[in-house]
């Protein structure tokens, strides 16, 4: 899988979706270059919340103040805080919670990262653009589990022994409000979808490790939300924020990367300027519609225009990528956020990138006519070349899209790419 993933990085179209399968980079044990850097600003505050740095002296947080990487954040039983990170993300600290932001960078690059260590209690996390650029390095570490995200609003909870009982065991819980997380613990993992709660038992509470015990320690989905999950004082406001986070973070990422776009003339299919006005199309000519849609897609990739890319694909799309390496063929499926994540991550590592489409076919989908004009099938061969790690590469892929007209806009509802 790793070899296939590295090869897939050569494509900045849908083949780049495989990039999201890369292994998590390990944290440096000896030195953390992020320590002391700003992590978040205090957006909302209630009661007593403290930050403790290297000197071991706690300071009381104030609205508008800054929290730094490496500080231990602790909320008293009457305390709550909402921290806003530079990528538009949210960390809401619940009463009694204690956590440390261990790694953080929000520079609009594929190396952006957010790794939190939750010691006890609960947080509510709303993912900003880091979850789009580098999902693999957007994680929550707990004493008994690791939680990975996929563009998410979720609430990890470390239940301590003092609160555990026969119904709710000591360990790590995660409630997903939107998106999906992956709870990894004790040699197993479970995907948690919106509206579900996952649980990983703390192995420190277990006895001798037998085969039966190891099964008990594997992460599981719960049948109902535990009653210790209660809304925070600012949750109504956070609910509204969560609904618009994709737009908010995309705009902030666009502003952050505006000064680092490729110079004009670097790419053959797109320039680094603003998106040109849409060309008016009379009637329903499939090829003209396909050319306009692909043109917007190609230009948005070069500009790292997250908002435009998202707006070109239906939220429910499932994209398929088939990559061949030697005698091995691997096909995987990805959602819209994963497609955007991998595309932007790969773009950041390319130099002298150029792209050209050597073929384009477009036709009405089965059962469609010019009169109905609802769905169009698009096929195109794209050739991309440039420098990756200062070495030349050339990549050819067959891309297939099913476009559907929705409220005057053409969206891809299916996508497939095959390395040729």
How far apart CA 262 and CA 199 sit, in angstroms, is: 45
The reply to whether 76 and 142 lie within a common domain is yes
Q: Residue 279 domain-assigned?
A: yes
The reply to whether 285 and 410 lie within a common domain is yes
How far apart CA 91 and CA 81 sit, in angstroms, is: 8
Q: How far is the CA of 304 from the CAs of 12, 102, 261, 334, in angstroms?
A: 11, 27, 8, 19
The reply to whether 147 and 222 lie within a common domain is yes
pTM of full prediction above 0.75: no
CB of 113 within 8 A of CB of 138? yes
Q: From 87, 116, 80, 21, select the one nearest 321 (Cα to Cα).
A: 21
The pLDDT assigned to 102 comes to 96
| Residue tagged 């390095």 (tokens) | 137
- pLDDT of the chain, 420 residues: tens digit per residue: 444 444 443 343 334 333 333 333 333 344 688 999 999 999 999 999 999 998 899 999 999 999 999 999 999 999 999 999 999 999 999 999 999 999 999 988 888 999 999 999 999 999 998 988 888 889 999 999 999 987 789 999 999 999 999 899 999 999 999 999 999 998 888 999 999 999 999 987 765 444 444 457 789 999 999 999 999 999 999 999 998 888 888 877 877 776 444 433 333 333 444 555 555 576 789 998 999 999 888 888 777 777 788 889 998 988 888 876 556 677 778 788 777 766 666 655 566 667 788 889 999 999 998 888 899 999 998 887 777 666 776 778 889 999 999 888 899 999 988 875
Query: Considering 186, 218, 246, which residue would you say is the last residue of a domain?
Result: 246
The pLDDT assigned to 133 comes to 83
Q: Residue 199 domain-assigned?
A: yes
Hey, which residues does 377 pair with through a beta bridge?
A: 363, 402
Q: In the numeric block, which tokens belong to residue 176?
A: 């997903």
The reply to whether 175 and 223 lie within a common domain is yes
The reply to whether 343 and 221 lie within a common domain is no
CB of 296 within 8 A of CB of 275? yes
The reply to whether 275 and 191 lie within a common domain is no
| CATH value at residue 153 | 2.60.120.1440
The pLDDT assigned to 411 comes to 93
The pLDDT assigned to 280 comes to 59
Q: Residue 133 domain-assigned?
A: yes
- In the chain, the number of structural domains is 2
Q: Residue 268 domain-assigned?
A: yes
How far apart CA 229 and CA 312 sit, in angstroms, is: 37
Query: Considering 220, 246, 272, which residue would you say is the last residue of a domain?
Result: 246
The reply to whether 240 and 325 lie within a common domain is no
Residue 47: left (phi > 0), alpha (psi -120 to 50), or beta?
A: left
Query: Considering 221, 246, 271, which residue would you say is the last residue of a domain?
Result: 246
Q: In the numeric block, which tokens belong to residue 136?
A: 């693999």
How far apart CA 258 and CA 312 sit, in angstroms, is: 21
| CATH value at residue 365 | 3.10.450.50
The reply to whether 223 and 134 lie within a common domain is yes
CB of 303 within 8 A of CB of 266? no
The reply to whether 201 and 270 lie within a common domain is no
The reply to whether 232 and 280 lie within a common domain is no
Residues in the chain: 420
How far apart CA 101 and CA 27 sit, in angstroms, is: 13
The reply to whether 236 and 299 lie within a common domain is no
Residue 49 domain boundaries: 32-246
Q: Residue 257 domain-assigned?
A: no
The reply to whether 121 and 71 lie within a common domain is yes
- Per-residue HEC secondary structure of the chain comes to CHHHHHHHCCCCCHHHHHHHHCCCCCCCCCCCCCCCCEEEEEEEEECCEEEECCCCCEEECCCCCEEECCCEEEECCCCEEEEECCCCCEEEECCCCEEEEEEEECCCCCCCEEEEEEEEEEEEEECCCHHHHCHHHEEEECCCCEEEECCCEEEEEEECCCCCCCCCCCEEEEEEEECEEEEEECCEEEEEECCCEEEEECHHHCCCCCHHHHHHHCCEECCCCCCCCCCCCCHHHHHHHHHCHHHHHHHHHHHHHHHHCCCCCCCCCCCCCCCCCCCCCCCCCHHHHHHHHHHHHHHHHHHCCHHHHHHHEEEEEEEEEEEEECCEEEEEEECHHHHHHHHHHHHCCEEEEEEEEEEEEEEECCCCCCCCCCEEEEEEEEEEEEEECCEEEEEEEEEEEEEEEECCEEEEEEEEEEEC
How far apart CA 287 and CA 21 sit, in angstroms, is: 34
């Amino acid at each position: 899988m790793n070899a296939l993933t590295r090869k897939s990085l050569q494509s900045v179209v849908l083949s780049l979706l495989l990039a999201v399968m890369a292994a998590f980079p390990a944290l440096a044990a000896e030195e953390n270059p992020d320590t002391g850097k700003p992590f978040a600003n205090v957006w909302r505050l209630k009661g007593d919340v403290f930050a403790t740095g290297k000197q071991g002296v706690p300071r009381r947080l104030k609205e508008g103040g800054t929290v730094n990487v490496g500080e231990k954040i602790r909320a008293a039983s009457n305390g709550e805080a909402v921290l806003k990170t530079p990528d538009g993300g949210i960390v809401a600290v619940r009463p009694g919670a204690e956590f440390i932001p261990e790694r953080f960078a929000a520079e609009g690059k594929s190396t952006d990262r957010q790794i939190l260590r939750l010691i006890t209690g609960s947080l509510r996390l709303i993912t900003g653009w880091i979850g789009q650029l580098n999902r693999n390095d957007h994680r929550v570490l707990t004493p008994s589990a690791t939680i990975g995200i996929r563009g998410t609003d979720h609430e990890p909870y470390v239940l301590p022994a003092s609160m555990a009982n026969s119904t709710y065991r000591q360990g790590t819980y995660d409630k997903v409000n939107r998106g999906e997380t992956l709870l990894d613990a004790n040699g197993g993992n479970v995907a948690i979808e919106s509206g579900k709660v996952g649980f990983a038992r703390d192995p420190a509470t277990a006895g001798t490790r037998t085969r039966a015990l190891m099964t008990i320690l594997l992460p599981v989905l719960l049948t109902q939300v535990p009653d210790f999950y209660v809304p925070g004082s600012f949750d109504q406001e956070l609910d509204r924020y969560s609904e618009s986070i994709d737009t908010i973070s995309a705009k902030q990422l666009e502003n952050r990367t505006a000064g680092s776009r490729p110079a004009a003339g670097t790419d053959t299919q797109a320039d680094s300027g603003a998106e040109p006005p849409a060309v008016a199309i009379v009637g329903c000519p499939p090829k003209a519609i396909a050319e306009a849609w692909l043109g917007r897609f190609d230009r948005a990739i070069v500009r790292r225009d997250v908002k435009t890319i998202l707006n070109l694909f239906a939220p429910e799309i499932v994209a398929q990528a088939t990559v061949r390496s030697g005698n091995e063929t691997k096909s995987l499926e990805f959602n819209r956020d994963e497609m955007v994540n991998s595309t932007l991550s790969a773009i950041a590592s390319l130099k002298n990138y150029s792209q050209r489409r050597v073929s384009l076919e477009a036709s009405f989908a089965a059962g469609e006519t010019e009169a109905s004009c609802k769905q169009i099938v698009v096929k195109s061969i794209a050739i991309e070349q440039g420098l990756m790690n200062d070495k030349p590469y050339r990549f050819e892929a067959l891309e297939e899209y099913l476009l559907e007209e929705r409220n005057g806009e053409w969206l891809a509802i299916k996508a497939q790419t095959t390395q040729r």
